[in-house]
């Protein structure tokens, strides 16, 4: 993952910069009973205090009902970033196509803690489809989602700093559990019997350049 230097860290500036970077595909079909794979790519970068992430989506339709924090965004057209900085657990950040977010910590000991409204408000995001629910587009739809995540949002890792040479594990997903065409695709393959993105053992390695 590349480091970027932005004097202006607005979402517009972040989006424009990520457009110029290399992109990775989210295209792994893990469960044959759900064969649909929308065309989804992402670009990601970092500086000492932020992750910058942009999803590029082309799917048969886009739908969203949830418009509040920590709601069932995975039932809508949704892009997700899960990451772990050590073996204590992982964070799941899930954002639907109108920018509603769920943010949680999942501890290895079974602890689960949702990010507060205050924390989620620091994670800036913008969807090209706007922010008003409900939406339901039945035709092919292209949309994008840009997200700026401050490292301070990772509330179980106080004082976290990103640095060149650092590595962590992550996975990236596109889903839509209750859309017209349910789908569950990932960046790194998941080898379990039923759709389940909460599988830290199948996270892939991410290196900060």
Q: Nearest-CA neighbor of 69 among 95, 106, 105?
A: 95
Q: Nearest-CA neighbor of 17 among 45, 36, 40, 41?
A: 45
Q: Which residue has the tokens 């792994």?
A: 28
pLDDT at 7: 84
pLDDT tens for the chain, residues 1 to 209: 999 998 888 999 999 999 999 999 999 999 999 999 999 999 999 999 999 999 999 999 999 999 999 999 999 999 999 999 999 999 999 999 999 999 999 999 889 999 999 999 999 999 999 999 999 998 899 999 999 999 999 999 999 999 999 999 999 999 999 999 999 999 999 999 999 999 999 999 999 99
DSSP code string of 110-176:
S-EEEPPHHHHHTSEEEETT-S-S-EEE-S-EEEEEEEEEEGGG-TTSTT----TT-EEEEEEEEE-
Element (H, E) at 15: helix 11-19
What pTM value is reported for the model? 0.97
- Count up the domains in the chain and report the number: 1
What CATH number does residue 145 fall under? 2.60.40.1190
Rounded CA separation 58/95 (Å): 16
Domain of residue 134: give its range. Answer: 2-207
């Amino acid at each position: 993952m590349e480091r970027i230097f932005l004097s202006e860290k607005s979402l517009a500036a972040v989006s424009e910069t990520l457009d110029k970077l290399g992109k990775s595909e989210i295209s792994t079909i893990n469960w044959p009973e759900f064969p649909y794979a929308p065309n989804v790519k992402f670009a990601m970068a970092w500086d000492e205090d932020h992750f910058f992430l942009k999803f590029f989506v082309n799917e048969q339709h886009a739908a969203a009902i949830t418009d509040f924090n920590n709601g069932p965004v995975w039932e809508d057209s949704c892009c997700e970033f899960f990451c772990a900085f050590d073996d204590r657990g992982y964070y799941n950040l899930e954002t639907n196509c109108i920018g509603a977010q769920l943010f949680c910590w999942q501890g290895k000991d079974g602890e689960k803690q949702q990010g507060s409204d205050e924390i989620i408000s620091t994670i800036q995001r913008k969807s090209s489809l706007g922010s008003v629910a409900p939406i339901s587009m039945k035709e092919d739809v292209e949309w994008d989602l840009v997200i700026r995540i401050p490292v301070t949002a990772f509330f179980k890792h106080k004082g976290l700093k990103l640095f060149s040479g650092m590595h962590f594990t992550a996975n990236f997903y596109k889903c839509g559990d209750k859309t017209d065409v349910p789908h569950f695709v990932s960046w790194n393959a998941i080898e379990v019997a039923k759709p389940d993105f909460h599988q830290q053992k199948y996270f892939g390695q991410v290196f900060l350049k």
